Amino acid sequence: MAIVEVRNLTKEFDGGKVRAVDGVDLATKEGEYLVLLGPSGCGKTTLLRSIAGLEQPTSGDILIDGNVVNDLPPRARKIAMVFQSYALYPHKTVLANIVFPLRAAKLPLEDRRRKANWAAELLGIRHLLERKPRQLSGGERQRVALARALVREPAVFLLDEPLSNLDAKLRASARDELKRFQQEVGTTTIYVTHDQVEAMGLGDRIAVLSQGKVRQIGRPVDVYDDPADTFVATFIGSPPMNLVARGDTLVGFRPEHLLPASYVKGDAQPVKLTVDRLEYLSGDRHVYGTVTGVGERTRVIARLPATVGDPIESGREYDFAVSRDRLRHFDAATGLRSVS
């Protein structure tokens, strides 16, 4: 286990025309599962490759267990990176793929076999050791790539969108497996994804990135309930947080907190909701409409359990409300969370 720390890290490409990583500060805790979440192009891969030593930072420091490793080559950093593409050798068997890093490290044959078996056992792929990558499913390939990373017994795992090549159903089970696996091994892991569901499900903490900058680092519940700015508020959550302009302020509330008025107890912000569309999605009603009463007339989405409350019809106006302790306020100019 180890602690990875990134201090004021910047990485530019094309002589400064592209700033992929822009003054990033972050630190893992020991054994933590830290997720880097952000849209495509926000610098996640570049940040991960810099930590691995595959990119030379333009400025800033990378530390492992308190030691600056900027000048250490990748293999000296005790880090294993699993790439989006898995990067398996197509002509080698699964076993040969897994032991490859150990051969390169000149480990005796007996030790290589022992470690490969241990990793294959842990990932449930012992029965696949003699196959070639093309004879495997996407999920199995992903496990081989993980096993290959695991045999090196790294202090840190870096995983770059390892589930993005899997179909939706397999992704859910692979996510579950990854989490169990990490809990078993306890290795500090930095996991990159653009998928907020994956991030919320896997991360002990999530660092939300946009345009090369960290917008917020916190537990899933923190970034969801107390977003630091409107980017985080709308990137996380599906549907995203509603934002309504009121003077110089933006008032935010989550779709599930916009409810028929009779369901909101205590100090509530009453609103009028004119409904124009309804969608049924996995047990929820998504109610689309325009809201007045909280600020400027704005299009919003409410999310209600399908089985709760009275029927709601398109084209009608309803008394809705938001509990005041669910309202979040942002500065309209900067997008940053403001107090009150």
Residues that bind ligand ADP (CB under 6 A): 13-14, 18, 20, 38, 40-46
Which is closer to ligand ADP, CB of 11 or CB of 257? 11
Q: Which does 50 bind (CB under 5 to 8 A by kind): Mg ion, ligand ADP, none?
A: none
User: Segment near Mg ion (CB under 5 A), from 44-52, 109-117, 148-156, 225-233?
Assistant: 44-52
Could you give the CA distance from residue 314 to residue 76 in angstroms, rounded to a whole number? 62
46 contact, one of ligand ADP, Mg ion, none, CB 5-8 Å limit per kind: ligand ADP
Q: How many CB atoms within 10 Å of residue 199?
A: 24
- Smallest gap from Cβ 83 to ligand ADP, in A, equals 11
**Of residues 160 and 284, the one with the C-beta less far from ligand ADP:** 160
Residue ranges in 283-322 that form contacts with Mg ion under rule CB under 5 A: none
Q: How distant, in Å, are the alpha carbons of 16, 37, 55, 161, 198 from that of 227?
A: 31, 14, 31, 23, 18
Among ligand ADP, Mg ion, none, residue 14 binds (CB under 5-8 Å by kind): ligand ADP
Minimal CB distance residue for Mg ion: 45
φ, ψ dihedrals at 294, nearest 5°: -100, -25
Binding part of the chain for Mg ion, among 40-48, 255-263, 290-298, 310-318 by CB under 5 A, reads 40-48
Question: CB under 5 to 8 A by kind: which of ligand ADP, Mg ion, none does 13 bind?
Answer: ligand ADP
With contacts defined by CB under 5 A, name the span among 43-51, 114-122, 142-150, 254-262 that binds Mg ion: 43-51
Instruction: Say whether residue 189 binds Mg ion (CB under 5 A).
Output: no
45 binds Mg ion (CB under 5 A): yes
Judged by the rule CB under 5 A, the positions of this chain that interact with Mg ion are 45
